[in-house]
Copies of this chain bind each other. A is one copy, B any other.
Amino acid sequence: MKRILLLLIIVAALMPLVNAQQGMFAPSVQSPLIGKDGSVIFKVKAPDADTVRLIIDSRLDTLMQRQNDGNWSLTLRDLKPDLYMYHYSIDGVKVLDDNNAQVCHDVKNVMNKFILDPYGDCPMAVHDVPHGDVSAVWYDSPSLGMKRRMMVYTPAGYEESRQRYPVLYLLHGTGGDETVWTEQGRTAQILDNLIASGKAEPMIVVMPNGNVDEPAAAGSGPDNNVQPTFAHKNWMDGTFEQSFNDIKTWVDSHYRTRDAKRYRAIAGLSMGGYHSLYISANQPDDFGYVGLFSPAIGRMDKGKSKIYDDIETKLVNQFKQRPKLYWMGIGKDDFLYKDNAEFRKMLDQHRLRYTYYESTRGHEWTNWRDYLVIFTQLLFK
């Protein structure tokens, strides 16, 4: 009682000082309200609005229903367990959920997020299992002439043990940065859960920044107010691929890695899949496992760098040395589907053996998280 009273005194005292913080003192509506049955109820106050829409990443854009109390509401059922990103549109103006402080951004678009885990088995959710650590580290890149930032996941027990671990290098797409695989990608939660259940081997996951124009994500580099963007100067021109060994060398000298091809994997989404394709083809002795998630393959490469020349010859040579796994995943609706089909056809003509996974939907995070869940269970076994 005394504690509650004191709390009220402090909150009351704080109010004039935090006039910006309506969200904090607004009558606390719970939104989204997630039921045990997996239903999700969204509620937003907008008494004067004519139309309020709910937009869930690229999955849903629908009208909400006006309630008598000035709120607009919508109930969704049978959503797949996953991470969801959403926002409201009130008379055409983008508005975040004032009752949800959990946000995430995709390139420049800031959205609220929630986790749907009705059965307690969603690999993207945090569960009560041993957790690995995630570090934002700065490594030296002599080829790019700068210190660069990357995220490194070390599995639970790494600090206490003396053993060496295999490494997955996990690359992002254009518009992304070193943080996206731990944010939208849920890498730490996915690995924590798969390792705890014995479905994946304990591994180090290295998530560098594939945009060579910036040393770090927006807000973490010397250009303090730079914004995330699709437009890069040195973009898919071989620069990142040529500088990749700076990362590998630094990781092998700073972490207890198993420095051998069969203990090293590289994978990436979109531009990161393109990077993974060319880095592994140019360094056939380095990667026992390759994962191409909706890779940005599209004849964009010829002549731009020796990294991209004679790719068929390089691939034939790479497969001669028998990678343990060459995995490709793409969604039926992906705008890169046709280019990927042609790439697979070329691999087939050369009788190069790969694993192919085709999902529904398009070029989006719900697919890339699923691909990571599938791919990481196949590594280092």
Contacts and interface: CB of A to CB of B under 8 A. Distances in A.
Interface of A: 2-3, 6-7, 10-11, 13-14, 17-24, 32, 34, 46, 48, 55-58, 61, 85-87, 90-96, 98-103, 105-111, 113-115, 117, 125-128, 130-138, 147, 149, 156, 159, 174-175, 216, 218-222, 224-225, 227-228, 230-231, 235-237, 254, 296, 298, 300, 333, 335-336, 362-364
A100 B227 contact: yes
A282 B346 CA distance: 71
A109 B22 contact: yes
B95 A225 contact: no
Given A18-B58, A109-B20, A3 B46 contact: no
A107 B102 CA distance: 10
B227 A101 contact: yes
Given A101-B218, A159-B254, A24 B109 contact: yes
Given A224-B115, A230-B7, A108 B23 contact: yes
Given A20-B85, A103-B110, A133-B138, 12 more contacts: A18-B109, A20-B86, A21-B107, A23-B109, A24-B109, A99-B108, A101-B108, A102-B225, A114-B225, A133-B136, A137-B159, A138-B156
Q: Main SS of chain A's interface residues?
A: loop
Contacts of A90: 93
A295 B135 CA distance: 30
What 10 pairs across the A-B complex have the smallest Cβ distances?
A: A13-B335, A135-B135, A115-B224, A21-B109, A23-B109, A101-B108, A131-B138, A133-B137, A17-B362, A23-B108
Contact of A107 (B101, B106, B175): B101
A140 to B, nearest CB: 10
Given A20-B109, A91-B48, A363-B14, A235 B7 contact: yes
Contacts of A19: 55, 58, 61
Contacts of A336: 13
